[in-house]
Amino acid sequence: ASVAVNSRVLSLSLKDAETKGRFSSPVLENVRERQLILEKNQTLQLDCRGRWDLQWVFPSGVPKGYPGAQVEDSSCGKRANQFCSRLTISPALAQHTGRYRCRYAHKQRKHTSVYVFVTDSQRPFVNVEKEIPDVVYMTEGKHLVFPCKVTNPNTNVSLIKFPKIRIGTDQRNIVWNSRQGFVIHSPTMFYIGMFSCKTVINETTYTNTFLTHRPVNKIKDVYLNSTGTVQALQGQMLALNCTVTAEWNSRVSISWSYPAQVIIRRIMPRKNNMAFYSILTIHKLSKADRGVYICHVESGPASQEANTSVTVYEKPFIRIKHRDSPVVLAYAGQKSFRLSPKLRAFPEPEVIWLKDGKVADEQCSRYHVDGYSLVIRDVAEEDAGVYTILAGIQQFRLLQNLTLSLVVHVRPQIAEKAVAVQDPGTVLRASRLSLLCTSHGVPSPHFQWAWYPCPPKGRTDPHAR
């Protein structure tokens, strides 16, 4: 049995080797060269063969669904186990110049291609000159390409810096490539400005003009229109606006990291400096949308980000609890005292404080509501009482309350001290003398009497005259 298994493995791997060798990439038949040169109005015909379903990729000059381009797919090979595809473009035109690729539909990296020139003496450049020059972006450390591709590889093209500087190729830094245009390997500041590719055919001059632009990469600031935490209810909409200010001419790209998907992107230029913004919208929030939302901004090598966290509540709620105990203590004379139970709610509730059943801040001008707290200024004895906080969200018909007692301690005061101290005078020995001490305090004070002997007679106070 073990022999049988081994031979099956062997035959499988042989078969694998076979398929690997043949058509691991598709093949263009009858194309010997890496490029083809056709004349305008001729027919371009390419045949591709492979082991799997085939696909064509055209140059941008052949638009999707172009009626002059036909693709015929068929099965082929000895056992009809191969795939063949014939591309026909008729008539071929100058703008069809470019690279034609044939690839596997499901393995797109496996492909073959040919570059096709369709010559037209009246259209030496693939792209015709437009009224407004194309902008070519220069990036530090990257090649600069003036993309004046030609329809005939033998066209003599020169590069002109506006108005009249003729730039020759040097085969090292400045290179002409009929499939790309002029390539500048290490562009300097000299290459900022307006440039033309120029060719003369039959005494007619043709040009392709470009404006180079060196983007500035300077992000000044990135901010979200809500900082901190965003709170929302399930089913509600969430919209975050990420604004980027950057130096004039900067190009920025904005992307988001967030728990779910759906983006709207817009660009809005502002005076003096550029402000770009991107708005992320989630139409119906669910619990899964909770989390951190980060707006990433990149401008060339520079990058910055801003974030906010989003909390999604299943339903509106109000929760009130005592901070420590239902009885709180203050002292008479305290500059201010704050009654602040723990309150968590969403959305924002309206809060009313009652004292002994009546609206607190209507009762006394020393009371005011600050956020969810009741603040008492210059605490007095009469502030003691029963306080109730009512928190309500009318929209959802939610109402919660919590009651707490305020005890105000009053430092005992001796009433007799308030009036001028009277000399008890002389009292006969053995007679009865009563001394009165009146005091008030909260809680009730304890009294304690102490006796101190008078200073001995005759001893005069050194300070007295």
Ligand X SMILES: *[C@@H]1O[C@H](CO)[C@@H](O)[C@H](O)[C@H]1NC(C)=O
What is the binding site for ligand X (CB under 6 A)? Answer: 40-41, 91, 121, 154-156, 202, 225-226, 239-241, 243, 277, 279, 292, 294, 307, 388, 390, 401
Q: Is 289 helix (H, G, I), strand (E, B) or coil?
A: helix
d(CA 78, CA 139): 53
Cα–Cα nearest to 144, from 215, 77, 79, 73: 215
d(CA 344, CA 402): 13
Q: In whole angstroms, how close is the CB of 284 to ligand X at the nearest point?
A: 15
Considering the complex, state which of residue 28 and residue 38 has its C-beta at the smaller distance from ligand X. Answer: 38
Residue 187 makes CB contacts below 8 A (sequence gap 6+) with: 138, 143, 144
Q: Is 398 helix (H, G, I), strand (E, B) or coil?
A: strand
**CB-CB contact of 368 with 375 (8 Å):** yes
Considering the complex, state which of residue 102 and residue 157 has its C-beta at the smaller distance from ligand X. Answer: 157
- Residue 322 forms beta bridges with which residues? none
Question: How many C-beta atoms surround the C-beta of residue 348 within 10 A?
Answer: 10
- Residue 295 forms beta bridges with which residues? 256, 306
Enumerate the H helices of 235-382 as residue ranges.
Answer: 360-363
Question: Residue 437 corresponds to which tokens in the numbers above?
Answer: 């001490």
Considering the complex, state which of residue 334 and residue 388 has its C-beta at the smaller distance from ligand X. Answer: 388
Q: Is 287 helix (H, G, I), strand (E, B) or coil?
A: helix
Q: In whole angstroms, how close is the CB of 116 to ligand X at the nearest point?
A: 17
Considering the complex, state which of residue 104 and residue 258 has its C-beta at the smaller distance from ligand X. Answer: 258
For residue 435, what is the DSSP state?
Answer: -
What is the enclosing helix (H) or strand (E) of 51? none
Considering the complex, state which of residue 70 and residue 225 has its C-beta at the smaller distance from ligand X. Answer: 225
Q: How remote is the C-alpha of 459 from its chain's centroid?
A: 89
Q: In whole angstroms, how close is the CB of 59 to ligand X at the nearest point?
A: 20
What single string gives the DSSP state of each residue in 4-36? HHHHHHHHHHHHHHHHHHSSSS-EEET--SSEE
Q: Is 324 helix (H, G, I), strand (E, B) or coil?
A: coil
Q: In whole angstroms, how close is the CB of 277 to ligand X at the nearest point?
A: 4
Considering the complex, state which of residue 77 and residue 326 has its C-beta at the smaller distance from ligand X. Answer: 326
What is the enclosing helix (H) or strand (E) of 318? strand 317-321
Enumerate the H helices of 29-123 as residue ranges.
Answer: none
Q: In whole angstroms, how close is the CB of 390 to ligand X at the nearest point?
A: 6
Considering the complex, state which of residue 81 and residue 202 has its C-beta at the smaller distance from ligand X. Answer: 202
Q: In whole angstroms, how close is the CB of 1 to ligand X at the nearest point?
A: 59
Q: In whole angstroms, how close is the CB of 155 to ligand X at the nearest point?
A: 6
Considering the complex, state which of residue 146 and residue 293 has its C-beta at the smaller distance from ligand X. Answer: 293
Q: In whole angstroms, how close is the CB of 401 to ligand X at the nearest point?
A: 4
Instruction: Name the phi and psi angles at 195, rounded to 5.
Output: -130, 150
For residue 423, what is the DSSP state?
Answer: P
CA atoms within 13 A on the CB side of 190: 10
Amino acid at 361: D
Considering the complex, state which of residue 249 and residue 401 has its C-beta at the smaller distance from ligand X. Answer: 401
Q: What angle do CA 103, 105, 107 make, to 5 degrees?
A: 75
d(CA 254, CA 280): 11
Q: In whole angstroms, how close is the CB of 392 to ligand X at the nearest point?
A: 9
Considering the complex, state which of residue 55 and residue 155 has its C-beta at the smaller distance from ligand X. Answer: 155
d(CA 344, CA 367): 23
Considering the complex, state which of residue 155 and residue 209 has its C-beta at the smaller distance from ligand X. Answer: 155
Q: How remote is the C-alpha of 125 from its chain's centroid?
A: 42
